Structure formats: structure tokens, C-alpha cells
Structure 1
């Protein structure tokens, strides 16, 4: 595989209409896609026959749960006091 990204051994094609792998859909969700339409816009998954839309919805739900649990957030950011995460100094 020269110059191409390596895929996990268990990576499966999720959307057969557009040859989109599950890892691509997960990557889109982790970059911020939160809806079926957003996934379709980013990687074309779910824009053909629609049979993969249930699996895409499951991935979106799992990634939302992951975000809520704080997984994938840099450790340094999790350790900041809440006041440092605000908008900054009062503009008063």
C-alpha cells in the first residue's frame, strides 16, 4: 500500500453504493459530523440506496456517547479549571 492510509484489518465497507469504509464514517463523526446528512456530505456514505443509514446512525450515537464521556479529549484540557474554559476576561 504505497502512499495510502492503512486500514484496520477488521475494517469493513459500510456503504457498498459508494465504497465507504466504516473507519471513514467514524473519522467523519470524530471530526464533527453529527447527522446523516453531514456524513453524506463529507464522505458520501448513506447517499445511495440507504441500507447503511441504520449503521451510520449507530456510529453517530456511539460517537456522541463517547464525546459525553470525555473520551478523545486531550488530558490537559480535561484538567483545566472550568473558569479557564469560559469566554475569557469580562469585557465589563
Structure 2
């Protein structure tokens, strides 16, 4: 399992993305998962080849309900930076 820990989001307001993220238990560990639509928005804004590839894959597996655990988006965690006061 690969995990990306995100502390900044290009193209997104961190406070908004953090507020809409969801806590989920993965192997007895609670993690905060970014919302599917925010993940797509961040991937578009990043514009790197890997992000473009991820975006294509994520859109192919579009969830029926755009939640963070759907569309194989569960590997993207959102964690506030050390100086975040939200």
C-alpha cells in the first residue's frame, strides 16, 4: 500500500479541504482522507506527468458517490501542517 501525506494542496484552500476530509480506520489506524473532488482538483492544479496519470485513473473509476474512500482515492491522506491553526 502506498500512502501520500499531503500538507499543502496546490489549487485548493487547505482549511476547506481539511474540513471536508473524512476520518477512516485503515488497519486499526485512523487516517484523514481527502474528498474525491478535492483530490481531482489538486491533481489538475499540480500538472505533473504522474498527477496527470493519476487523474486519468481516478476519473476512470469515478465513484457513484464522490466520497474519499471511493475511486481508489483512499491512498491520499490529508494532514494539517505543523503550523496549521484551523
Q: Pick the structure with more helix per residue.
A: 1
Length-normalised TM-score, structure 1:
0.27
Length-normalised TM-score, structure 2:
0.28
Structure with higher Rg: it is: 1
Of structures 1 and 2, the one with the larger relative CO (CA 8 A, separation 6+) is 2
